[in-house]
């Protein structure tokens, strides 16, 4: 495996596969390793320290598997662990390695989607509490007002395969009502959680027609493409064998494969990665 230098994609579980789908579509030639920490997912309600500890452990596993570049395809991990990893851990471990998240690339462009300059950001409790989107979007678009909404029941709905069932409608409506009550001027809703694209059909059906729903997979993939164009020292390290390997920290790889195909829109065969 070490003769390959794949791009590592990390998520707390399955959700990052929606981001990986877009990355694999836009950058098909590279080798990839996906790692889902399903044994300890979801991360959404966990503390800052725990999310950092778990994320850094998984990033190190991806480094050991040969990845010089790791994407945290998880909003919660990007919000709560990325800064410490970039500013502290990497310097001790190996400064030539890179870890990138999903929040900054999304914040860089989301302001271009709104006419009214009012955006709703839907995420996990952890992402919302971190205020990362609020801060990052206001860095790039100071004129945009950001209304955050935590949707803590949406991840469990998706994880339990209930997202396309009639019972999900109640919880979709509940959080959309809450965010829309914050301002009548919102014309853009950002799905700032990897699981929410699976609810996009129900979300769109419930909203007034003038409100745009923006998932982030394509945005993150376009940003990675741009990053690799600008960083030839990293681009040249990465191998291009068009392989995709999937690892999960859960010992039930069949269960992972079953769920993963739903998120990745393709059959997946995973291997078990044991947490030390
Ligand atoms: N992947 C997480 C995110 O994007 C959602 C799942 C979790 O809470 O671990 O925020």
Q: Is 270 in the pocket of ligand 1 (CB under 6 A)?
A: no
Residue 103 · residue 78 · CB < 8 Å? yes
Domain boundaries, the chain: 7-101+218-272, 104-215
Ligand 1 center from residue 12 Cα (angstroms): 6
> Which of 58, 67, 74, 151 is the catalytic position?
74
Q: Is 130 in the pocket of ligand 1 (CB under 6 A)?
A: no
State the DSSP string of 177-220.
HHHHTT-TT--EEEE-STTGGGGHHHHHHHS-TT-EEEESHHHH
**What CATH number was assigned to the domain covering residues 104-215?**
3.40.50.1860
Are 7-101+218-272 and 104-215 the same fold in CATH?
Answer: yes
Task: Give the strands of the sheet with 69-72, arranged side by side.
Answer: 98-100, 69-72, 7-11, 32-36, 244-248, 270-272
| CB neighbours of residue 39 within 10 Å | 16
Q: What is the pLDDT of residue 180?
A: 98
Q: Is 159 in the pocket of ligand 1 (CB under 6 A)?
A: no
Name beta bridge partners: 246.
34, 270
| CB neighbours of residue 95 within 10 Å | 8
Token pair recorded at residue 63: 């480094």
Tens-digit pLDDT profile for residues 192-214: 999 999 999 999 999 999 999 99
Q: Is 194 in the pocket of ligand 1 (CB under 6 A)?
A: yes
Q: Which ligand 1 atom is at minimum distance from the Cα of 123?
A: 10
Whether 193 is catalytic: yes
Q: What is the pLDDT of residue 1?
A: 47
- Among 270, 51, 46, 259, CA closest to 158: 259
Q: Is 15 in the pocket of ligand 1 (CB under 6 A)?
A: yes
Q: What is the pLDDT of residue 236?
A: 96
Token pair recorded at residue 48: 């800052």
CA distance 52 to 76: 10
CA distance 114 to 159: 31
Q: What is the pLDDT of residue 161?
A: 87
Q: What is the pLDDT of residue 108?
A: 98
Q: Which among 46, 77, 216, 248 is the best mutation to test ligand 1's pocket, defined by most ligand atoms within 8 Å of the CB?
A: 77
Output the residue whose Cα is nearest ligand 1's atom 2.
74
- Among 151, 105, 158, CA closest to 128: 151
Whether 74 is catalytic: yes
Q: What is the pLDDT of residue 45?
A: 87
Please identify every stretch of the chain with a pLDDT value under 50, giving residue numbers as ranges. 1
φ, ψ (nearest 5 deg) of residue 260: -60, -35
Q: Which among 21, 54, 74, 125 is the best mutation to test ligand 1's pocket, defined by most ligand atoms within 8 Å of the CB?
A: 74
Against a cut of 0.85, is the pTM above it? yes
Ligand 1 center from residue 271 Cα (angstroms): 21
**What CATH number was assigned to the domain covering residues 7-101+218-272?**
3.40.50.1860
Q: Which among 42, 55, 260 is the best mutation to test ligand 1's pocket, defined by most ligand atoms within 8 Å of the CB?
A: 42
């Amino acid at each position: 495996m070490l003769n390959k230098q794949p791009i590592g994609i990390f998520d707390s579980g399955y959700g990052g596969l929606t981001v990986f789908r877009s990355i694999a579509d836009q950058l098909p030639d590279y080798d990839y390793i996906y790692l889902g920490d399903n044994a300890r997912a979801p991360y959404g309600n966990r503390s800052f320290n725990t999310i950092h500890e778990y994320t850094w452990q998984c990033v190190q596993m991806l480094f050991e598997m040969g990845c010089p570049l790791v994407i945290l395809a998880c909003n919660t991990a990007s919000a709560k662990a990325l800064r410490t990893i970039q500013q502290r851990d990497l310097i001790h471990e190996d400064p030539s390695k890179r870890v990138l998240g999903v929040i900054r690339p999304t914040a860089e462009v989301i302001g271009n989607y709104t006419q009214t300059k009012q955006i709703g950001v839907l995420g996990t409790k952890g992402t919302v509490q971190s205020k990362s989107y609020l801060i990052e979007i206001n860095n790039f678009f100071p004129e945009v007002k950001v209304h955050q909404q935590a949707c803590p029941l949406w991840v469990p709905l998706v994880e339990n395969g209930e997202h396309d069932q009639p019972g999900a409608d109640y919880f979709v409506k509940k959080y959309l009502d809450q965010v829309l009550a914050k301002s009548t001027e919102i014309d853009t809703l950002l799905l700032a959680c990897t699981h929410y694209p699976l609810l996009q059909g129900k979300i769109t059906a419930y909203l007034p027609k003038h409100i745009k729903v923006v998932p982030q997979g394509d945005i993150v993939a376009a940003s990675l493409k741009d990053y690799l164009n600008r960083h030839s020292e990293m681009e040249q390290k990465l191998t291009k064998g068009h392989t995709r390997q999937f690892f999960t920290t859960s010992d039930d790889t069949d269960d992972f494969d079953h769920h993963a195909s739903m998120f990745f829109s393709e059959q997946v065969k995973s291997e078990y990665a044991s947490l030390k």
